[in-house]
Structure 1
Amino acid sequence: MPLTLPVDIDSIKGFLAQDEGETLYQLAAEVAKLGPVLEVGSYCGKSTLYLGSACKLHNNTLFAVDHHRGSEEHQPGEQYHDPELFDAGAGLMDSFRSLRHTLRSADLEQNVVPVVSPSEIAARHWQTPLGMVFIDGGHSEAAAQTDYQSWAKHVVSGGILAIHDIFPNPADGGQAPYNIWKRALNSGLFEALPTVNTLGILRRR
């Protein structure tokens, strides 16, 4: 049975494939009893819609962490720059208004807590155990490693660590997300589950 979302997913800017989004929804529903969900890299809310809708259905909470100034590839002159998300007054990218619009349109404001902050700062005093962490922040090696270091340790036993844009072949895409997927697997703390498109999935032992 096709997944029904509260708003048209194609109306939300983002780079998440449908099969990846539906898998995130299913995973978030599966871990609802283990603890809240946290995503790194909300952008305009495409993944937030999937994860937040699953959390709402199961009376859970999604923490949506993003500084909303765009990753490296979103900056002016870069491949994925979107002029509609550029705040000319500040001279900076700003996707937060689009995220808020997504949450309001989907009636998710009671289940999604936006955390407008760089990942490492948001994690500095974090103590809440998490049923699931989805990492889709900056794709530089430094950013990806920081996201992993900041959040993977908070996933509870039986919980899920999901990482977007896994490309084992360097010819297909950047290697930073794949490197932290391998780091998680090599840690012995996680076991790999089948990958869906470019969505790497691991379960905490």
Structure 2
Amino acid sequence: MISVVVLISGSGSNLRALLEATSAVDYPAHVVAIGADREADGLGHASDFGIPSFDVPYTSFSSREEWGEELAEQLRAWNADLIVLSGLMRLLPESVVDEFGPRIINTHPAYLPEFPGAHGVRDALASGASETGASVIVVDNGVDTGPILAQERVPVLPDDTEASLHERIKPVERRLLIDAVRRVATGELDLTTPA
């Protein structure tokens, strides 16, 4: 059984799916804490599931590095086997990635390396792509450039909007995340040498 800390910025829909999965007695991971970089609605899931939460508001610090130092302090306190970025809309400082990597994974609403960055769904639509997807990666010091753990294609429909396409990607992202955490926990995925 591995321990997991999840970091979010928003409503935490992927987080909720992961919490439901980890509630199953046969799931080989459990979430020990949930953190956020701002006041986030998703922290409500922590109280729903009886899990401790913390926030490290980015705007309370004078630099990304100072924010990273406090975030690292929080992460050290939980000593988790795995850190999951689940809708955390902020790049981690290099010092955090260097200390905790490769034990940090992230979901992304595109078929990487296509459409990295904060607007993957919008960028896929703007490019006229006929398909995009969802990916789970190991976090490195680039922008969505880490080793790919899992990914799956999602078609772009002719009448898609950013919202409708993102709604179709989310269930795929959740399924990939839940499976990737399970496979890390069982040793099927080695984060130091992902397939």
Q: TM-score, normalised by structure 1?
A: 0.45
